[in-house]
Structure 1
Amino acid sequence: MKRTKKRETKLPWEHPKLEDEEPKAIELINTIKNSPTYKLAIEDSEFLESNETRGIRLELDYLKAELEIAKHGIEHTIVVFGSARIMEHQTAMQKLKVIQEKLDKKPEDRELLREFYIAERMVGKSIYYEDARRFGRLVGESGKSADDCKVVVMTGGGPGIMEAANRGSYDVGAKTIGLNIHLPHEQFPNPYITPDLCFQFHYFAVRKMHFLNRAKALVVYPGGFGTFDELFETLTLMQTRKTQNMPVVLVGRSYWEKAIDFAFLQEEGVIAPEDLDIFKFADNADEAWEHVLSWHKEKGSPLFD
């Protein structure tokens, strides 16, 4: 851009009113300049955080991630959901050992007994961490090279199953996305997300839009409230035809059939028989990935040309 030649003569507004004309000129001008209304809108945090500018904040929350994801040439994502509490086997065993040592000293402590029971269950569920890591690896290896962004794993960016899926892609040098959410308490993204593809959102709704924007499959491991929320929102959008159909795979049939009695919902008439066709169960990462690939092949929309 051609630089404008600097003026030799100052313009009238480039200096304050003379004190000879108004003794309180500087004081009055400083009062004006210190008023919040004088701030540029982009620098006025109180204005930007007001109820009236929520629409603008929603747009910015969406746009920042959208521009970066597009810049990296990412075409499709495979979204992986699951519990943040499920940990890798070694960590789960160590936690169980710590609780066991406490329980040995207080064998009648009911709270410790409860913690021990949960820790044992978490050791069992650590198989899902390893499986989600394998799934992330399968997706990561599907590209032609480490820079191939045709299909990329996307998670919520946190620990547990999310970490495992990101980690699997990280293991093979593939790019991987994490969508964190800003919460009242401190949190950290898992370390396996591609740095330039880790985003933090203020609004859950905008984050959910990004989960589905480029999604070509949803793979869901055992989880709690957050996992159920994301799963059922996606199922509802597909049921009501508000989003494109895609393969939805629930990994861990024994967990899901106990956690949610889908057959009961059908029997009660609150969902239709065809609604049970929206998703499929799988027992492991290989089954889940095979279903994703075959689903798209059958629909004439192969993930890879």
Structure 2
Amino acid sequence: MTAPDKPTHTDSGGHIPSPANPLQRHEPLPWHHPKPPEEDPDAPERVRRILANASYREAIEDSDFLRDDQTRGPRLQLDYLKPELTLRDHGIEHTVVAFGSTRLVEPSAAQAHVDTLRAQVAEHPDHAPARRQLATAERILAKSRYYDVAREFSAIASQAGRHAHGGRLVVMTGGGPGIMEAANRGAHDTGAESVGLNIRLPHEQYPNPYITPALCFRFHYFAMRKLHFLLRARALVAFPGGFGTLDELFGTLTLVQTRSIAPVPIVLVGESYWRRAIDFAYLADEGVIDPEDMELFWYAESAQEIWDGILAWYEAAGKPLIEQADTHAE
């Protein structure tokens, strides 16, 4: 940018000066240059040390400061605000949250793994660890059908979610592989947006490739991630899973049980798996939960059954989820 001509001083009372250049001055201010060495030979080195010191960094650029224990409060706020403002900017008001094991890969991948292990066991039939790995892989293969169920359910929900009451409804997952990948993939199949909430972990990880790029977030705090899972949730769909799935499931059940949040549909996909993984009836018989707590969730198997159950729950609550009459996939 070329600086404007230097104005000529005039005593005329009617003179209106030209607007000042927003970036440049004709005469530099005293602090535009460091103290010259001819005034103090040690000045340049002193200034260099000042500029290099961490105290001179702006707070937003000082990673050591931002990661200090005493700045945890602002970090928590930022962990919350970035996804919150982004979701608002994208007009996302409602979500269906899908959880499930990262190990439940698509059937073709599960079959390929089983085939590899079977070949290894055939070569070394007495190798007990290989036989155990094969048995586990075969169980994963049997459950891999839920990958397809999650993908189909997400496609149904994503299409119908364009007509949700009060704004779009999109699928949200934890952003990882397995069932979460399947759910994001189902939305991707229909050209719909979907959200992924990743978390910083000690080891390297990658988000699944089907999340909408502008809607994939990485959290530092599990607490903020959990908060965002439920802030816009209109349903929780839990496929067979391990610790992470159980964590989110029980967290949601507890919040609904205590009415800390308004009740939402909670669907457990794969009744035979869930009845063996968690004996809810035993908990009720033992008196540690109430019989009415058994009504906070239900079981389903197919994609359409999951979606129809969610719609029926909202109809029974007197607040239909979808505006249009045809609630099936378009």
TM over 0.5: yes
* Corresponding residue number in structure 1 for 2:317: 299
* Corresponding residue number in structure 2 for 1:259: 277
1:174 equivalent in alignment to 2:218: no
Change over 3 Å in CA distance of 1:5–1:262 after alignment to 2: closer
Size of the aligned set, in residue pairs, is 302
* Corresponding residue number in structure 2 for 1:17: 35
* Residue type of the alignment partner of 1:122: I
Match of 1:35 among 26, 40, 53: 53
Match of 2:286 among 257, 268, 271: 268
1:250 equivalent in alignment to 2:268: yes
* Residue type of the alignment partner of 1:160: G
CA RMSD of aligned residues (A): 1.6
TM-score w.r.t. length of structure 1: 0.95
Q: Secondary structure at the match of 2:160?
A: coil
* Corresponding residue number in structure 2 for 1:277: 295
Q: Deviations over 1:21-64 (max 9, x none)?
A: 32211111111111111111111111011011111111111111
* Corresponding residue number in structure 2 for 1:99: 117
1:169 Cα shift? 1.2
CA distance in 2, matches of 1:180, 1:278: 27
CA distance in 2, matches of 1:200, 1:230: 17
Change over 3 Å in CA distance of 1:283–1:3 after alignment to 2: farther
1:237 equivalent in alignment to 2:255: yes
Change over 3 Å in CA distance of 1:4–1:303 after alignment to 2: same
- Contact 2:314/2:321, CA 8 A, preserved across alignment: yes
Change over 3 Å in CA distance of 1:193–1:3 after alignment to 2: farther
Q: Secondary structure at the match of 1:185?
A: coil
TM-score w.r.t. length of structure 2: 0.88
* Corresponding residue number in structure 1 for 2:202: 184
- Contact 2:105/2:178, CA 8 A, preserved across alignment: yes
CA distance in 2, matches of 1:152, 1:37: 44
Query: How do 1:102-117 residues align onto structure 2 when only pairs under 5 Å count?
Result: 102-117=120-135
Q: Deviations over 1:104-125 (max 9, x none)?
A: 0110111011011011101100
Q: Secondary structure at the match of 2:144?
A: helix
- Contact 2:162/2:168, CA 8 A, preserved across alignment: no
Q: Secondary structure at the match of 2:64?
A: helix
CA distance in 2, matches of 1:5, 1:292: 58
1:4 Cα shift? 2.2
1:140 Cα shift? 1.6
1:149 Cα shift? 6.4
Q: Any gaps of 5 or more consecutive residues in structure 1?
A: none
Identity of aligned residues (%): 53
CA distance in 1, matches of 2:136, 2:220: 32
Point out the more displaced range, 203-212 or 25-34: 25-34
* Residue type of the alignment partner of 1:119: A
* Corresponding residue number in structure 1 for 2:8: none
Larger Rg over CA atoms? 2
1:158 equivalent in alignment to 2:176: yes
CA distance in 2, matches of 1:285, 1:5: 60
CA distance in 1, matches of 2:106, 2:214: 26
Match of 2:148 among 124, 130, 134: 130
1:158 Cα shift? 0.6
* Corresponding residue number in structure 2 for 1:225: 243
Change over 3 Å in CA distance of 1:3–1:169 after alignment to 2: farther
Change over 3 Å in CA distance of 1:209–1:26 after alignment to 2: same
CA distance in 1, matches of 2:185, 2:31: 58
CA distance in 1, matches of 2:239, 2:294: 18
CA distance in 2, matches of 1:219, 1:5: 55
Change over 3 Å in CA distance of 1:5–1:160 after alignment to 2: closer
- Contact 1:76/1:150, CA 8 A, preserved across alignment: yes
Query: How do 1:50-129 residues align onto structure 2 when only pairs under 5 Å count?
Result: 50-129=68-147
* Residue type of the alignment partner of 1:99: L
Q: Any gaps of 5 or more consecutive residues in structure 2?
A: 1-19, 324-330
CA distance in 2, matches of 1:19, 1:96: 74
